Amino acid sequence: MPKRSFATENCSLARTMELVGDSWSLLIVREALLGASRFDQFQACLGIARNVLTVRLRKLADNGIFESIPLADGGKRLQYRLTDRGFELVTLIGAAMQWGDRNLFKPGRHPVRIVDQATGHEIPTLELRSSTGQALDVDRLDFLPGPGATAMTRRRLAARTPPVR
Amino acid sequence: MPKRSFATENCSLARTMELVGDSWSLLIVREALLGASRFDQFQACLGIARNVLTVRLRKLADNGIFESIPLADGGKRLQYRLTDRGFELVTLIGAAMQWGDRNLFKPGRHPVRIVDQATGHEIPTLELRSSTGQALDVDRLDFLPGPGATAMTRRRLAARTPPVR
């Protein structure tokens, strides 16, 4: 059975995971946030196989997360720069880091702090909030059809039952 | 070459992606948030192969994202319930949905709205914020060693250069 593609599903989670939901893609973006821009830099930092890195960088560039521009050395080598769309992934990366900090490391033993440069303070935990800034527990959320919902998405959401807690 | 494992890396992003960074795991959690709890419900909603679903559910349960308890029907079937750790993934899922809404659908055509039950308003875009609530652009963030940083993590972060924008 061929690997199923989620790229056309009527779900932004499925499409996003299709694009960056593999073990490497967000780590490549992480390295770019830490300053990597050349193939060899990504390769050295991540210890990723060159053929895998080639495929991942191309997919990320084809989908507008990186732009690739020739290096100024006159050769054929490329430089990979995050686009605005790529920089926007910092929220997703931050959410994943904070979840991992809390759940996959000993309490208070997280490896990296994301810090506000202006104050030196670590940023607080991301939470889904109301339009007035109140943190919303999952029990207080609804998942409703958006303007791009298909008939099937509408049926699925209408059949939603709150999860048992 | 065997698939590399990130489960022991000194990086909460790598560990989190090792656990839920595949095309299916967060979609399984999504279905649980929409009310699925039995194997057949996950299978029907996702159209996932039964053997793949079995492996994914076991991994998620082994890692404390679901707890599996016998169904009340006296048989051998199990019910999968999100734990607190599982429910906490809603922030990561929300961040992924919002990124996909903005970048992988036509403007204003997102399929699902996450809504505050109390007001019926869609929740605003998640952003990394300072401790006083100010939205922080990536240029205003630092990535510094946390209390659990290894020597290598410290070296890597010390060598960070801001990405070109």
Q: What is the DSSP letter of A119?
A: T
Which helix (H) or strand (E) element contains residue B58?
helix B50-62
**Mean per-residue pLDDT for B64-80?**
90
Per the DSSP assignment, residues forming a β-bridge with B79 are B38, B69
Structure tokens at A86: 């790529």
A151 in reach of chain B (CB within 8 A): no
ipTM over 0.90: yes
From the candidates B17, B123, B127, which should be mutated to test the interface with A, based on the most A CB atoms within 10 A?
B17
Q: B73 CB contacts (<8 Å, ≥6 apart)?
A: none
CA angle centred on A73, ends A71 and A78, rounded to 5°: 25
Hey, are the CB atoms on A97 and B13 less than 8 Å from each other? yes
Hey, are the CB atoms on A143 and B104 less than 8 Å from each other? no
DSSP letters spanning A28-48: HHHHHHTT--BHHHHHHHHT-
Position B3 confidence tier, pLDDT thresholds 50, 70, 90: low
The overall pTM is greater than 0.90: yes
**Mean per-residue pLDDT for B64-83?**
91
Residue A1: per-residue pLDDT: 44
**CA B55 to CA B58: how far, in whole Å?**
5
Give the model confidence (pLDDT) of A56-107 as tens digits. Answer: 999 999 999 999 999 888 888 899 999 999 999 999 999 999 999 999 999 9
Residue A71: per-residue pLDDT: 87
Q: B5 CB contacts (<8 Å, ≥6 apart)?
A: B18
Mean pLDDT rounded to a whole number for chain A: 93
Q: What's the distance, Cα to Cα, between the start and end of chain B in Å?
A: 36
Hey, are the CB atoms on A146 and B89 less than 8 Å from each other? no
Residue B164: per-residue pLDDT: 82
Hey, are the CB atoms on B33 and A129 less than 8 Å from each other? no
Residue A3: per-residue pLDDT: 61
Residue A6: per-residue pLDDT: 83
Closest-CA distance, B35 to chain A, in angstroms, reads: 5
Chain A residues with beta carbon closer than 8 angstroms to that of B113: 143-146
From the candidates B3, B4, B13, B28, which should be mutated to test the interface with A, based on the most A CB atoms within 10 A?
B13
Contact, B27 vs A27, CB < 8 A?
Answer: no
Of residues A6 and A70, the one with the higher pLDDT is A70
Residue B5: per-residue pLDDT: 78
